[in-house]
Amino acid sequence: MSETTPATATEQQRPAFWGRGAYELFIESEGIPIHTGVDVPDLRAAEVAAWARLDAKGAYIRLYGAEDTDNAYLLELGPGRSSAPEKHLFEEYFFVLTGRGTCEVWNDGEAPRSFEWQEGSLFSVPLNTLHRLHNGSGSLGARLLAVTTMPIMMNLLHSTEFLFGCPYVFRDRYDGRTEYFDGSGTLYTGRVWETNFVADIRRFQLRDWKERGAGGKNIRFEFANNTMVSHVSEFPVGTYKKGHRHGPGYHVVLLSGEGYSYMWPGDADAPADTWTEVKWRTGTLFVPPGRWWHQHFNTGAEPARYLAIRWGGNKWKLAEYLDNQGVDKDVNEGGNQIEYEDQDPLIHRTYVERCAARGVRVKMDEFNVRV
């Protein structure tokens, strides 16, 4: 038996794709804009371009904080237009930024089911189902944001043919029920609403979450038996939330309000020169990097409400560092939250100054906040 050793083998130049992920290579091949960095200032105005695969316009969003665990993209449909049908082996949430229309969903060999969506709607297309989006207006465009688990699935499989062409039907994800997308659901302990469709998350009733501070409210969503989850949080005028941290991939979309967020790596008491600031308003998207501390501040004249979509579920657990365990528990007690009295004093001083400049009264004392 012969043996070839490195000493006798002919050395060859590595192919150009080595050292790059299949996901990165795929999105570059699509020929549409790719938004990077820490945020997208306004999803409604972000650049899109013709997208041949979906017969629409679109753009990928690959922000730093997603760390290629999940991603986002924009899909824009012209008046009366429909997207090309597709299916895929990654999970997908849709949030409607503008417009109204319908979505068809079906398994191979079965009749499509259709439901209506509008601005503010949130829904998830079940895993590996065929689906197609239709713009219901003959005069106005429609734009949707999608958040998906494409990066990790594509990088693991590195086979687009299989990812977009697998014939398997996941009956535990979608069984064709007529009422699947009717908006009904079940409320579980811990502020969890399990459903498959919310008509308008901007008006969805939230529940008190006193542990997160200053009158904050929250609801957590479970959609389509996914490992991806989402939540909506809101905090009042003249207040800010406690600093906290969690895993990567939380795509935070501002639904209302105006303000800013700080994000920083390392220790909870890291100096101010390590903080990254994101200024936000309705339509802004940002993704805090994994295990970075971050804190949200409302300096506007209305309550600040945001949607966060992420991978790493509550119902179907993936890994400890991916979930949100301890985001409402003091870091001094083993959690991942900074209590107000332990935060850098500069945080409160800066907030008071910025509110004063805008004529907004700080109301932290109304919630017995000690800073």
Task: State the pLDDT at residue 4.
Answer: 60
Q: How far is the C-alpha of 59 from the C-alpha of 290, rounded, in Å?
A: 24
Residues 212 and 176 in one domain: no
**Closest by CA position to 155, among listed 58, 248, 20, 274:** 20
In a domain, 19, yes or no: no
Give the Cα separation of 170 and 107 in Å (integer): 9
CA 359 from chain centre, in angstroms, equals 32
Q: Could you identify the residue written with the tokens 């969890």?
A: 192
pLDDT of res. 7: 63
Same domain, 266 and 337: yes
Can you read off the two tokens belonging to residue 316?
A: 């179907």
Count of domains for the chain: 2
- 167 and 44 in a single domain? The answer is yes
Q: Which tens digit of pLDDT belongs to each residue from 70-106?
A: 999 999 999 999 999 999 999 999 999 999 999 999 9
Residue 303, helix vs strand vs coil: coil
Enumerate the H helices of 94-205 as residue ranges: 150-157, 160-165
The count of C-alpha atoms lying within 13 angstroms of the C-alpha of 202, restricted to the half-sphere facing its C-beta, is: 16
* pLDDT over threshold 90, residue 239: yes
Closest alpha carbon to 208 in 199, 200, 217: 217
**Residue where the block lists tokens 């469709």:** 197
Residues 84 and 117 in one domain: yes
The answer to whether residues 196 and 171 belong to one domain is: no
Same domain, 45 and 170: yes
Asked if residue 4 is part of any domain, the answer here is: no
Q: At 338, phi and psi to the nearest 5?
A: -100, 120
Per-residue pLDDT tens over the stretch 344-360: 999 999 999 999 999 99
169-211 residue pLDDT tens: 999 999 888 899 999 999 999 899 999 999 999 999 999 988 8
CA-CA distance, 293 to 340, in Å (whole number)?
14
Which of these three, 161, 180, 199, is where a domain ends?
180
> Are 339 and 210 part of one and the same domain?
yes
The Cα–Cα gap between 121 and 124 comes to: 10
The pLDDT > 90 percentage for the chain reads 82
Instruction: Determine whether 231 is exposed, middle or buried from the number of CB atoms within 10 Å of its CB (0-12, 13-18, 19+).
Output: buried
Residue 24's pLDDT band, with cuts at 50, 70 and 90, is very high
Q: Say if residue 319's pLDDT is above 90.
A: no
Q: Is residue 295 part of a domain?
A: yes
State the residue range of the domain holding 73: 34-180
- Of 125, 153, 180, which closes a domain? 180
> Is 108 in the same domain as 166?
yes
Q: What is the pLDDT of residue 214?
A: 84
Please check whether residues 341 and 216 belong to one and the same domain. Answer: yes
Last residue of a domain, one of 159, 180, 201: 180
Identify whether 189 is part of a domain. yes
In a domain, 21, yes or no: no
DSSP 246-260: --S--EEEEEE-EEE
The 10s digit of each residue's pLDDT in 35-56 is 999 999 999 999 999 999 999 9
Predicted confidence at residue 11, as pLDDT, reads 80
Give the model's pLDDT for residue 324. Answer: 61
Q: The domain spanning residue 235 has which CATH number?
A: 2.60.120.10
- Asked if residue 24 is part of any domain, the answer here is no
Q: Is 239 inside a domain boundary?
A: yes
DSSP secondary structure of 217-242: EEEEEEETT-S-EEEEEEE-TT-BPP
Mean pLDDT of the chain: 93
Regarding whether 227 and 357 lie in a shared domain, the answer is yes
Claim to verify: residue 261 and residue 322 sit in the same structural domain: yes
Is the pLDDT score of 127 beyond 90? yes
Query: β-strands 56-61, 34-35: how paired?
Result: parallel
- Give me the pLDDT at residue 224, please: 93
- 162 with 114, same domain: the answer is yes
Answer whether residue 344 is part of any domain: yes
Mean pLDDT of the region 115-122: 98
pLDDT for 244 equals 93
The span from the CA of 53 to the CA of 209, in Å, is 43
Per-residue pLDDT of 148-174, as tens digits, reads: 999 999 999 999 999 999 999 999 999
